[in-house]
Each structure stands twice: as structure tokens, then as C-alpha cells.
Amino acid sequence: MKIFFTIFMLCIAFSSIAQEEDTMATPILGEVPQKVQDIYRPMVDEVQVEVWVDSLTIPWSLRFLPNGDALVAQRPGSIMRIPKDTNQPKLFLDVPGVVHEVDAGLMGMDLHPDFENNGWIYIMHAYRNEQDELLSKVVRLSHKTNTAEVDKVILDNIPAYAIHLGGRIAFGPDGMLYIGTGDMSQPFVAQDLDHLASKILRITPEGEIPEDNPFENSPVYSYGHRVVQGFAWDPQTGTFFNSEHGPSGAKVEGDVRYRDEINKVKKGGNHGWPIVVGAPGIPEYQDPLVMWNQAAVPPAGMTFYKGDLFVASLGGQALIRIVLDRENEDYSVSRMERWFSYAPSQGIYGRMRDVVQGPDGHLYVTTSNTDGRAPMRIHDDKILRIKFKE
């Protein structure tokens, strides 16, 4: 029954987005920036894949504690703990006040860089206020052995919607908290610097606005994003990247469907949506590093591993490996592989939401098949452990 209700809600949401985006002006359409084609690799000989944990419900964000335990945030509103050296999830916390509606719910999660001393865990979730408006907020939790309690609301009144609300949070190497939001199916909020939707926000761990933010008295770090879904910093250079969803379901003039992106994020930069899609090379807008235009990829969580950028793909049903060439802070893509996928939107493990490196040096990937958008595999959803062979 839950899955049928989810599908019903998705149909309503997609109908809404089609109506709203149908009135959108035709964006300036740019080129595909990368010069290589995706290589499909359903079998990846250099790795061994194990199902580490199964039977989860829409796992959205995965993080490892310093003691080796793992925490996984599930979109309906619970955080599960997987004790070190086991594969049996235990309830860590039912987060109070979470509203789960289609894409909205409990989403991003990250640990404070000094977690070992302060025990702070940060989460982002949707809720409804006293006026029954759907909003999102970032909340700080205080770790208490095998559970946690709410410590402080860090940032409130973030505009939300049942779809296109973003949700990713992560601490950068500068110790600041970065927050990804979406356009709520209202594209032009992306260009409004007074609106928190469709932006990357940057705040201190206490929720204050850093003095070196690009816009005075504003948490906005960059704008013109559509639906921000992943963050990663290159450990070799410190360069900041994000993933975001393109207009896969848009009904506007011109061939602008799909167009999911990986961006090198510029402080104060305008990344174009909905005026520009792709890489037209217009100086006022930031061209993406990667853009897909043949089928929906929807990239989600991502991380650097062994020098390459690994990206979890939802509709593409793959773990995407992007091999980068670096010259100072200039990047180009030399190779792209879709692991565990044999054709567009056809993969062995289904949809993938998050990818992180564990304390054992292996990659861990969460699937996302229990959200009603893909056929469920047995014992879904899972956390996969990917071991590179010697």
C-alpha cells in the first residue's frame, strides 16, 4: 500500500511540474562539455561487491562514526545505526517532526569536523509549520552513545516542496556547512538572490553567516542551480564540485530534457538555471564540467576516491566513475564509466543515492529502490560494499 501511495503522489507531483515548466521560456542551450562517451560496465573485474546491509527504507545519507559504526538517514524519518563489524541495523533515532512527502523527508546528514570532541551530527529534513507550509530546516543533534537528541536548529525556513527541494548537506574543508536546495518546480527562484531555493548555502556550524560569503548578510554561496544533490571536494586541490538534476520532465520549447550536471562550483557564481542549460560559454554563467543529454542520469551523492570522482546515479542505475585531468584548477574529463549498468536506466542494483568511503578504505553505496520509482530487488534497500582487488 505504501508503494502504491508513493507512486500516486509522484504522478501528482510530476503533473504539477509539467504544468509549471510548460510556461517557461526556452533556455539558452549549450554544448555537452565533456569530450568522452559513457562506457557501460555491468561487470567490473577490478572490484568485489558485497551486500553489507539490506532491508532499509529509502536510505538517503550514509556516514561513518569515528568508532567505525555507521549511521544511515532514511527518508521517512529514522536514523539507523550499524555497529562496527556487524550488518544488523539498529534504531538510532526517530527524528521528531519529519514530514515525508514524495521527495521530502529526512535527507542530508553529516558529522561536525570535530565530532570526536563535541559529538555533533547535522541533519536536514522537511517539516510543516503552524500554517501547514512545507519547509526544510537543518538541525544539530547531540550524540548520546547509541542514540542522539536534538540540540539546536541551525537554519530554518528553507523553502521546500514535495519534489525538487535538494537536501544535501556537508562540511567543507574550510569547516563551514554547505547546504543544497532545489527550485521547488519554480525555476526562476534560482536567479533570485533573496530566495534560499535553488542555491548552495554556506553557514558556520552555529548557523551564522560567514564574513567571507560572496553576498553581504546572505548564506548564499552560489546560485542558478536546479536541484542540488551531491557535494565533493577534490582532496588534491580543494576544488568544490556539486551534482544536480536537470529538467528531465520539463515540457518547454526546445530540446532541454535530461541535462543532469556535475559542476565545479564558483564562489558567488551563477550556474545558469533556468536561463542557461549546458555549456554555451557565456562569461556571466558557469559552464558545467559534465552534462548528460541522452537520458536521465539524476546524479546524487558523490565522493573522490583514488583520484577519481564517483557519483551515485538514481535514474541511471549506476555508480559513475569520472576520471579527471587536472591542470591547476582547470579540469577536463578523460573517461567516464557507468559501473553495474548495461544500458541507460538499466542496472544490476537499481537506483543509487549515496556513495562514501568507509574507515576500512572501501566504497559504500546506498541503493534507492524502495521509493516507488524503480522495481524493487529482493531485500531492498541495500548498502553495497565495494572492495578494490589487490
Query: What is the tens place of the pLDDT at every residue in 141-171?
Result: 999 999 999 999 999 999 999 999 999 999 9
* pLDDT above 70 (res 14): no
pLDDT tens track for 78-137 = 999 999 999 999 999 999 999 999 999 999 999 999 999 999 999 999 999 999 999 999
Q: Which residues contact 123 (CB under 8 A, 6 or more apart)?
A: 73, 79, 95, 106, 107, 108, 109, 138, 139, 141, 169
Q: How many CB atoms lie within 10 A of CB 188?
A: 14
Domain covering 2-388: architecture:
6 Propeller (2.120)
This prediction has a pTM of 0.93
Rounded to an integer, what distance in angstroms lies between the CA atom of residue 88 and that of residue 80? 10
pLDDT tens track for 333-373 = 999 999 999 999 999 999 999 999 999 999 999 999 999 99
DSSP string, 159-213: E--SSS----EEE-TTS-EEEE-B-TT-GGGGG-TT--TTEEEEE-TTSPPPTT-
Contact 130, 116 (CB under 8 A): no
329 — pLDDT class (breaks 50, 70, 90): confident
Give the DSSP letter of residue 259: -
* pLDDT above 60 (res 16): no
